Amino acid sequence: MKKIRSIWQRWFGFMLRYCRRFSDFLPLASVLSFILAVTGTLLSTFILKLPVFENMFDAVSKGDDNVRTFLWDYAAFIGIWVVILLVMCRKPNRPMFRLLVPKKNTLKHIALGVLLGFGSNSFCVLMSALMGDIKLYYAGVDDPWPLIAFIVFIFIQSGAEELMDRMYLQSKLRRRYKWPAVAIIANSLVFALMHRGNDGFTFVAGMQIFLVGLLFSLFVYWYDGLWIAMTYHAAWNFCQSVFFGLPNSGIVSSYSVFKLDAASAENGFFYNVDFGVEGSVGAVLLFVIEIAVIILLNREKPEKNDIWRQMDEQYEKNENISAEVLNENI
């Protein structure tokens, strides 16, 4: 087995790391991430039926079935947190926890993610309004508790997607492939494909979601910024869905601070009637610019936190020792 591994490393070593595992193979890792997402979603159906959640949903929604349904839809990602964290407890995956553990700059990363997410979405909404594609009116907030609940559960939903794609899948691919681009691009593509079933999904919407995944992956790569990705993602979704009342990946919340005059909404450069600002050419260009800025600012910098570097160096050392022993025996 060691000889076969040595031959494999000799032929494909230019792109493979020594610490790789079989499950890190790109197609298999992608399938595993999908299976974990499905498993987590199924687990949520049991978790959310616990009395503590049932009572909370009833108290917050106050008989409004639409609010209760949308809260449940976001909370349904809580099982993914449980499944991913359990998988990372396995010894081979434990280094992944380093991406999630709070550090001295975590509060700054959280603030930056909220600012970028809210600001980027607000820019797209503002441009849509200025171009006359949408009309919004202030609906107000009579009861703050649903607003607070949405903040919490939207973070659970967005955070779950980041744990699955940017922490689990990107880390597995980074463990196998020496080229960071493989992990960054592949997990972004999987992220986009997992939204394929959303209502109103188009090629432009898919491209925008792919670019979002690319941006978040670069945050993780250059800034060790999983918390930037999670809060950016949550702030974008909250701003779009609950603050402005627009479709979020094709889904419209019945509870929002502002309301959309849906009858007058039109497709435009920054807005898509079925998918919201996420399905627009303007949003695609916005994320192209943000990605370009990140690349220009960091193009000469190395990876911020290569969680597999020490392990890979140790495996390489052991591999070289084994090869020397093999040659001596020959």
> 3 lies in a domain?
no
pLDDT score of 212: 97
pTM exceeds cut of 0.85: yes
Cβ(229)–Cβ(171) below 8 Å: no
What region, left, alpha or beta, does residue 201 occupy, with left being phi > 0 and alpha being psi -120 to 50 degrees? beta
Name the phi and psi angles at 23, rounded to 5: -70, -5
Distances (CA, A) of 319 to 6, 16, 93, 309, 325: 8, 13, 21, 15, 10
Of 247, 246, 244, 241, nearest to 257 (Cα)?
A: 244
> 13 lies in a domain?
no
pLDDT digits (tens, 9 = 90+) for 160-197: 999 999 999 999 999 999 999 999 999 999 999 998 88
- Residue with the bigger pLDDT between 316 and 86: it is 86
Q: What is the mean pLDDT of the chain?
A: 90
> 7 lies in a domain?
no
Element (H, E) at 245: none
Q: Which pair of structure tokens corresponds to residue 51?
A: 């009395």
> Over the range 194-216, which residues count as b (16 or more CB within 10 Å of their CB) and which as e?
bbeebebbeebbbbbbbbbbbbb
Cβ(80)–Cβ(40) below 8 Å: yes
> 135 lies in a domain?
yes
Q: Which pair of structure tokens corresponds to residue 23?
A: 């499950």
> 16 lies in a domain?
no
Torsion 49-162-105-155 (CA) sign = negative
Domain span holding position 234: 22-329
> 11 lies in a domain?
no
Torsion of Cα atoms, 72 then 73 then 76 then 80, to 10° = -150
Number of residues that this document lists for the chain: 330
How far, in Å, CA of 318 to CA of 176, rounded? Answer: 17
pLDDT digits (tens, 9 = 90+) for 189-221: 999 999 888 777 889 999 999 999 999 999 999
Q: Which pair of structure tokens corresponds to residue 115?
A: 């600012």
> Over the range 52-64, which residues count as b (16 or more CB within 10 Å of their CB) and which as e?
ebeebbeebbeee
Name the phi and psi angles at 259, rounded to 5: -120, 145
pLDDT(226) > 70: yes
pLDDT(75) > 70: yes
Find the mean pLDDT for residues 52-60: 91
Distances (CA, A) of 172 to 20, 131, 287, 307, 308: 8, 43, 25, 11, 10
Cβ(160)–Cβ(36) below 8 Å: no
Report for 46-55, 214-223, 306-315: range of highest mean pLDDT: 214-223
Name the phi and psi angles at 258, rounded to 5: -110, 155
> 320 lies in a domain?
yes
Q: Which of 78-87, 238-247, 310-319 comes out lowest in average pLDDT?
A: 310-319
Cβ(168)–Cβ(229) below 8 Å: no
How far, in Å, CA of 283 to CA of 280, rounded? Answer: 5
How far, in Å, CA of 168 to CA of 234, rounded? Answer: 18
Residues 6+ apart with CB under 8 A from 263: none
> 221 lies in a domain?
yes
Please count the structural domains in the chain.
1
How far, in Å, CA of 205 to CA of 278, rounded? Answer: 6
pLDDT digits (tens, 9 = 90+) for 83-119: 999 999 999 999 999 999 999 999 999 999 999 999 9
Question: What is the full DSSP assignment across 193-222?
Answer: HTTTTSTT--HHHHHHHHHHHHHHHHHHHH
